[in-house]
Amino acid sequence: MNILNFPFDTAYNTAPFSKIENAHFLPAIKKAIQTAKDEIELIITNKDQASFENTIEALDFSGSELDRITSIFYNLNSAETNDEIQAIAQEVSPLLSEFSNDIRLNQDLFARVQQVYEKKDSLKLSEEQKTLLRKKYKSFARNGANLADDKKSVLREIDKKLSRLSLTFGENVLAETNAFELHVTSEKDLDGLPEGTIEAAKQLAESKQKEGWIFTLDYPSYIPFMTYAKNRALRKKLALAFGAKGFQGNKFDNQKNIIQIATLRHERANLLGYKTHAHFVLEERMAETPEAVFSFLNDLLLKAKPAAEKEFTNLQEFAKDLDGIETLQKWDSAYYSEKLKQKLFNLDDEKLKPYFKLENVIDGVFKVAYKLFDLNFEEIDSIDKYHKDVLTYKVSDDKGEMVAIFYADFFPRPGKRNGAWMTSYKPQYRLDGSNERPHISIVCNFTKPTKSKPSLLTFNEVKTLFHEFGHALHGMLANTTYPGLSGTSVHWDFVELPSQILENWCFEKEALELFARHYESDDTIPMDLINKIKESSTFHEGMQTLRQISLGLLDMNWHGIDPSGITDVKGHEKKAFASTQLYPDIPENCMSTSFSHIFQGGYSSGYYSYKWAEVLDADAFELFKEKGVFNKKVASDFKEHVLSKGGTEKPSELYRRFRGQDPKPEALLRRAGLIK
């Protein structure tokens, strides 16, 4: 019997990880596709006239078995993959693409959806139902339901190709990340590096039966090396390897892949009647048009660039005075920024890290969630994990009612992609009188404990944990009827608001005192360090803003234009970066070929949304600052109008209901120290 038969015979209906074998996935997914097709067939053959309940609602609940199984599969492909899973993904991906097209291009199903949509004004629907109806109708219209049969076939082919190309792109980036190691055998080459980083590199070398120390392109190894290693030549070597992923003319080269992805996305948009892929994507975002995004990014650029150029000049002069560096290069950036930051604020991550033991930070983020939203987190061992490092929790409210199941996976390992993300194994929804609670996960890549030290986080990693936990709260506190509108199923440029607003608590004394305690002495973080964290929070904000703008512009220059004339990936990228460039270009490096966010991770035409959401979060947090960072009324309003509502209404409406006004960009510029 396939263990992935549905529902699962487990505590809280959680994923039965320990019993799943790779061989289970393909047959289970094929069976679930057939079940979903049968559910669709029942909607189409229903003899009753099409209604909201028998068509729109039935459609949203259809395919739930397939969604559960594929969420397990793709989450494992990101967090615990291997050659076998990747091979299955290549096989499964076109099947799922074909299935989703079978639905979106099904004329009989669309006819029923259209019948309900055309009488929407006469139906007594709630706001949530109106949103679901509009979303379902649009999902057909925007995906080819109105196309002639021959064009539908073209669309199917494009989607299959895109599905495969995106997987290949990600596999290539992972392969290049894993393929490189910097093997250091001389102790003097470790000069400047923190003790914990050296110890972790030693352990890695030992695990590979090698002498010395090994540094990799995984963030917990790469970032400390680039920030602290005195050896400029080795920093350069590591930086060049990092920037060359997918750009080395080998079998993992991504240049052709991204030109094909951009071209196929453009063709798809044209086929559906849109000028570019960005026009297609942004129609369903807060920004609405590419023009609005370009205008937003260029307006920010205008305000941030003078500050960024001034910061860069100061950094260049500092590096020259300190070490005689004539031309500041990208591999000098983190190193001299950290040195300058230490000089200005006498604050470096090594001073802070002892106060940020991972277990304490986890406890801290739980305490913040309790003080704001009355959530309790209880670690449990009654549910399965996909890896021994994963932590599992039952989340409940103050009445003891279960709110969610929460998984947390914090350490890097082979088979786990870089970065940090939140995901879901089961959405929240209401069915047959029951409020089904969600299963939410966050995945990060923090430094593992060593023989002599626990996992101590940099302040950036603390922010990352709070960020992903903000996404998790959006999923956990969902309280909607329909799974298709639940949790993080919101406009893409709204989805980062809950994650980014939570980062603000990392800078607040009342929050830091809850969890920032020295891992040896248990002393609370001193007030002067808290003040320095706040003072230094706007350090190089101009340069960081410019960096985010540059990536947003790169994304729009791949997706907001006709890419058919692009033959030189690097040349195209240079043009996109021209207005934001500070450092000399590195000919052998290319950002696009490993820009997983836009070529694999769903951010195409959406990378601007990080900055867009920062405007929302800065404006929203000003209200918390005004009323008190743990003010129950403000927190309750945020939960009620933002976190629990998912995508049930337009985000601009939800935000106005919470804040009482539209967001003001000045709040972000004030917080960033770019205006007074």
pLDDT digits (tens, 9 = 90+) for 589-628: 999 999 999 999 889 999 999 899 999 999 999 999 999 9
Is the predicted pLDDT of residue 675 greater than 90, yes or no? no
Specify the pLDDT at position 347: 84
Helix then strand count (H, E) for the chain reads 27, 9
What mean pLDDT do residues 255-263 have? 98
Specify the pLDDT at position 104: 85
CA 340 to chain centre: 30
Is the predicted pLDDT of residue 1 greater than 60, yes or no? no
Contact assessment for residue 452 and residue 618, using Cβ atoms and an 8 Å cutoff: no
Is the predicted pLDDT of residue 676 greater than 90, yes or no? no
Contact assessment for residue 485 and residue 135, using Cβ atoms and an 8 Å cutoff: yes
Q: In the 8-state DSSP scheme, what is residue 669?
A: H
What mean pLDDT do residues 307-326 have? 97
* Alpha-carbon torsion (520, 523, 529, 533), positive or negative: positive
Is the predicted pLDDT of residue 389 greater than 60, yes or no? yes
Smallest CA-to-CA distance from 504 within 469, 456, 539 is with: 469
For the domain covering 354-537, report its CATH number: 1.10.1370.40
What mean pLDDT do residues 86-91 have? 94
Strand partners, 395: 377, 404
Strand partners, 436: 429
State the Cα–Cα distance between residues 356 and 330, nearest whole angstrom.
28
Which residues are catalytic, by number? 468
Q: What is the mean pLDDT of the chain?
A: 95
Distance between the two ends of the chain, CA-based, in angstroms? 66
Smallest CA-to-CA distance from 313 within 547, 54, 582, 505 is with: 582
Where, residue-wise, is CATH 1.20.1050.40 in the chain? 11-104+106-146
What mean pLDDT do residues 82-88 have? 94
* Alpha-carbon torsion (390, 396, 401, 403), positive or negative: negative
State the Cα–Cα distance between residues 475 and 441, nearest whole angstrom.
9
Contact assessment for residue 288 and residue 533, using Cβ atoms and an 8 Å cutoff: no
Element (H, E) at 89: helix 83-104
Tokens read off for 526 = 């001193």
Tokens read off for 344 = 């200005």
Tokens read off for 90 = 């290549």
Per-residue pLDDT band for 674 (boundaries 50, 70, 90) equals: confident
What's the pLDDT tens digit per position in 647-663?
Answer: 999 999 999 999 999 99
State the Cα–Cα distance between residues 517 and 306, nearest whole angstrom.
39
What's the pLDDT tens digit per position in 32-58?
Answer: 999 999 999 999 999 999 999 999 999
What's the pLDDT tens digit per position in 353-386?
Answer: 999 999 999 999 999 999 999 999 999 999 999 9
Three-state SS letters, 636-665: HHHHHHHHCCCCCCCHHHHHHHHHCCCCCH
What's the pLDDT tens digit per position in 267-289?
Answer: 999 999 999 999 999 999 999 99
What's the pLDDT tens digit per position in 462-506?
Answer: 999 999 999 999 999 999 999 999 999 999 889 999 999 999 999
CA 639 to chain centre: 21
- Which long-range contacts link 577-585 to residues 24+ away (Cβ below 8 Å)? 577/550, 577/553, 579/301, 579/553, 580/301, 580/305, 580/546, 580/547, 580/549, 580/550, 580/553, 581/550, 582/308, 582/309, 582/312, 582/543, 582/546, 583/328, 583/329, 583/330, 583/333, 584/327, 584/329, 584/330
Specify the pLDDT at position 191: 98
Q: What is the residue-wise DSSP string for 533-591?
A: HHHHTTTTHHHHHHHHHHHHHHHHHHHSS-GGG---HHHHHHHHHGGG--SPP-TT--S
State the Cα–Cα distance between residues 30 and 88, nearest whole angstrom.
12
CA 308 to chain centre: 26
CATH number, domain 11-104+106-146, options 1.20.1050.40, 1.20.1600.10, 3.40.630.10, 1.10.10.10: 1.20.1050.40
Where, residue-wise, is CATH 1.10.1370.40 in the chain? 354-537
Tokens read off for 541 = 């904000």
What mean pLDDT do residues 303-312 have? 94
Contact assessment for residue 391 and residue 408, using Cβ atoms and an 8 Å cutoff: yes
Specify the pLDDT at position 246: 98
State the Cα–Cα distance between residues 220 and 435, nearest whole angstrom.
39
State the Cα–Cα distance between residues 280 and 289, nearest whole angstrom.
9
Per-residue pLDDT band for 105 (boundaries 50, 70, 90) equals: confident
Q: In the 8-state DSSP scheme, what is residue 443?
A: E
Q: In the 8-state DSSP scheme, what is residue 104?
A: H
What mean pLDDT do residues 182-209 have? 96
Cβ atoms < 10 Å from Cβ of 24? 19
Is the predicted pLDDT of residue 584 greater than 80, yes or no? yes
Contact assessment for residue 37 and residue 408, using Cβ atoms and an 8 Å cutoff: no
Q: Are strands 391-396 and 182-184 parallel, antiparallel or unpaired?
A: unpaired
What mean pLDDT do residues 426-430 have? 97
